[in-house]
Amino acid sequence: IIYVTGLSILDLSSISYMIMGIFVLFGLFKFDMLSLVPVSYQKVFESIDEAVFVIDQNLDIINSNEAANRMFNKAGGIKVGEPIATLCEIYGVCYDCTKKEQVITNKLTEQILNLKITRIYNKRKDIVGYICVFMDVTEAHIAKQKLEKLVITDDLTGISNRRHLLEQYASDIKSKSKDLYMAFIDVDFFKKVNDTYGHQIGDEVLVELAELIKGYFELPSYVGRFGGEEFIAAMHSEDEQSAFAYLDYFRIMVSNHKFAYDIPSITISIGFVESTGNIDEDIRLADKALYYAKENGRNKVISYHDQTIISA
Q: Catalytic residues, which ones? A: 229
What are the phi and psi torsion angles at 87 (to 5°)? -60, -45
Q: Determine the 3-state secondary structure of 34 from DSSP.
A: helix
Q: How far apart are CA 120 and CA 52, in angstroms?
A: 14
Return the H-helix or E-strand segment holding 172: helix 162-174
Return the H-helix or E-strand segment holding 169: helix 162-174
Angle at 301 between CA 298 and CA 304, to 5 degrees: 110
CB-CB contact of 268 with 216 (8 Å): no
Q: Residues with Cβ < 8 Å from 93, sequence gap 6 or more?
A: 87, 104, 105, 106, 107, 113
Beta bridge partners of 241: none
264: preceding bond cis by omega (within 30 degrees): no
Angle at 128 between CA 124 and CA 133, to 5 degrees: 130
What one-character DSSP code corresponds to residue 153? Answer: B
Q: How far apart are CA 188 and CA 280, in angstroms?
A: 24
Angle between helix 240-256 and helix 199-216 axes, rounded to 10 deg: 140
